[in-house]
A and B are shown apart, each in its own frame.
Chain A
Amino acid sequence: AQKITQTQPGMFVQEKEAVTLDCTYDTSDPSYGLFWYKQPSSGEMIFLIYQGSYDQQNATEGRYSLNFQKARKSANLVISASQLGDSAMYFCAIPRYNQGGKLIFGQGTELSVKP
């Protein structure tokens, strides 16, 4: 069965520094995607970045990049140059086996950016 593990309940980072949020996964799907979402206190889940398991390069979207290590089954999110507005919950997610939009989420990491 698919499973997502986020081992950091909370993280602190100084403004303008980089931070890495950990995500490991387990799946039997030979082809899969990994998602990261941001959830600020307003509640909306904001799509950040997607990595396909067969993508040759690590995904990047602005200040967000994925450190994808397929053999280790990890897909860590790197946020460069942290901003105060980055303070939020961050969730890693993977689709259920061959069932695209039915995502399995981790428990999330709460990131706090200090001024």
Chain B
Amino acid sequence: DTGVSQDPRHKITKRGQNVTFRCDPISEHNRLYWYRQTLGQGPEFLTYFQNEAQLEKSRLLSDRFSAERPKGSFSTLEIQRTEQGDSAMYLCASSYFSGGGEKLFFGSGTQLSVL
């Protein structure tokens, strides 16, 4: 068990460019979450998948954001036409959900800086 891994760890981009982040969850976990964390704040929920189905998107997730989880394994989060306000830490988490309490295990995050 190697934990949740995210790639890249850091991304610097110019305003207007597209960026894509990848998350590999813990292998036996069926749920995968994306959170965003800005400086001095706790993480905020963006979206989540159960297996390959995207079950909810937060209103924080504008139309420029899209997430996928093909085959229910790794997930990608793409931001199109980045804006300076997108600068944040993007955290991925996974869990094994079977109807009871749910414990999330997070990755190290991708720190995005939009110049």
A residues in contact (CB < 8 Å) with B: 4, 33, 35, 37, 42-47, 50, 52, 91, 93, 95-96, 100-108
Query: Are A101 and B95 in touch, CB under 8 angstroms?
Result: yes
Query: Are A101 and B31 in touch, CB under 8 angstroms?
Result: yes
If A45-B43, A45-B93 touch, does A100 touch B102 (CB 8 Å cutoff)? yes
Query: Are B101 and A44 in touch, CB under 8 angstroms?
Result: no
- How many residues from B make CB contacts under 8 Å with A? 26
If A50-B101, A101-B97 touch, does A91 touch B42 (CB 8 Å cutoff)? yes
Is B108's beta carbon under 8 Å from chain A?
yes
User: Given the complex, which residues of B lie within 8 Å of A107, measured CB to CB?
Assistant: 40-42
B residues in contact (CB < 8 Å) with A: 9, 31, 33, 40-45, 48, 56, 89, 91, 93, 95, 97, 101-109, 111
Further contacts, 8 of them, CB under 8 A, given A101-B48, A102-B33: A4-B42, A35-B103, A44-B108, A45-B43, A50-B101, A101-B104, A105-B41, A105-B42
Cross-chain pairs A/B with CB under 8 angstroms, 11 sampled = A4-B42, A43-B9, A44-B107, A45-B109, A47-B103, A47-B106, A50-B101, A101-B48, A103-B104, A105-B41, A108-B41
